[in-house]
């Protein structure tokens, strides 16, 4: 098995190198370094759905100030754009490593998260659905090109992505499948089209529920867009023929401006966060308007190499009994 694992590691490297190079070119992104930890209480860490606990610890040399391991770099990147003095159309990308100890184990979830985290300066006039869709199309084209390169390098890994991605709002999806759960709706639309950008995630839908949780202070999910629905964010979903399910590869969006930040803090009942350092910078017009997101490295590798478990492409912590049972099905975790 050792040589097969080595070949898999080489294939993972091929996918990551191919995709990251093409992504930088497509979005005009500059690679930068990024933190594993940030100080607690600054508002810079990603709160995800607002309930997940970060890994936290005191720092002796800073008088026991507490630091937290990042969940993602959604807000840190926007501060970094300002620090690097980037202009409209320029952006950054980094290899983000995070820990999410409250994540539920599954074939596509682990407590270890690795993403291409990217952020790009935009004009205030680009805060619209048209610009969001244009950016999604560029990222999707990179996914298609990467899958074709993988098939050329590894002919047994057949390319399956359609040439174009379908766009649909979370409200339209609800109206199409009113009796389905959010996950069932995602499965249905992804199976029908092969690749979908589901936009407007986080705001309340006509049934009184949200499609999925989003924090109040990075993606703009409450601004009305050109099609009359709300939301300038979304997820890239593809149909995974190995798992027979919708498969999220990226969450992304146009970031909040100060009006949408204030509105969303109230909606999420956390208006007190406006006093935190990050939020004050935004409210005082000290941060650029931006678009950004995260693209799962392990998810992309798992899909491109047609594997059935995320542990086949990343090293994490797993239940030993589960690992043994998977080996009986010839699934070997790294």
Catalytic residues: 46, 100, 115, 235, 248, 251
- What is the chain's percent helix, strand, coil content, to nearest 5? 40, 25, 40
Torsion angle in degrees (nearest 10) through CA of 181, 186, 187, 188: 90
8-state DSSP, 275: G
CB 138 within 8 A of CB 165: no
The β-bridge relationship of strands 245-254 and 233-240 is antiparallel
- Alpha carbon 235 to its chain centroid, in Å, reads 7
SS3 label, residue 283: helix
From residue 153, alpha-carbon distances to 147, 160, 299 in Å are 10, 15, 19
Which H or E run includes 296? strand 290-296
């Amino acid at each position: 098995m050792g040589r097969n694992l080595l070949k898999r590691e080489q294939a993972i490297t091929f996918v990551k190198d191919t995709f990251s190079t093409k992504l930088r070119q497509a979005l005009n992104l500059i690679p930068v370094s990024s933190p594993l930890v940030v100080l607690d209480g600054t508002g810079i860490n990603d709160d995800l759905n607002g309930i997940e606990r970060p890994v936290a610890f005191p720092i002796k040399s800073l008088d026991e100030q507490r630091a937290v391991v990042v969940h993602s770099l959604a807000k840190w990147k926007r501060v970094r754009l300002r620090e690097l003095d980037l202009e409209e159309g320029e952006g950054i990308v980094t290899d983000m490593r995070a820990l999410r100890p409250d994540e539920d184990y599954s074939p596509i979830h682990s407590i270890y998260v690795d993403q291409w985290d990217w952020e790009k300066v935009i004009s205030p006039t680009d805060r619209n659905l048209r610009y969001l869709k244009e950016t999604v199309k560029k990222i999707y084209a990179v996914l298609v090109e990467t899958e074709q390169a993988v098939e050329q390098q590894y002919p047994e890994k057949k390319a399956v992505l359609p040439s174009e991605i379908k766009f649909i709002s979370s409200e339209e999806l609800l109206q199409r499948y009113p009796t389905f759960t959010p996950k069932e709706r995602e499965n249905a639309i992804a199976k029908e089209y092969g690749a979908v950008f589901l936009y407007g995630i986080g705001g309340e839908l006509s049934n009184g529920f949200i499609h999925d949780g989003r924090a109040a202070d990075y993606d703009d999910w409450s601004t009305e867009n050109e099609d009359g629905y709300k939301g300038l964010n979304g997820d890239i979903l593809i149909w995974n023929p190995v798992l027979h399910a919708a498969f999220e590869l990226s969450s992304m969006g146009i970031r909040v401006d100060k009006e949408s930040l204030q509105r969303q803090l109230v909606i999420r009942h956390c208006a007190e966060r406006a006093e935190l350092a990050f939020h004050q910078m935004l409210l005082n017009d000290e941060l650029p308007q931006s678009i950004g997101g995260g693209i799962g490295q392990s998810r992309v590798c798992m899909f491109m190499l047609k594997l059935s478990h995320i542990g086949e492409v990343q090293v994490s912590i797993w239940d030993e009994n589960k690992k043994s049972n998977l080996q009986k099905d010839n699934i070997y975790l790294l």
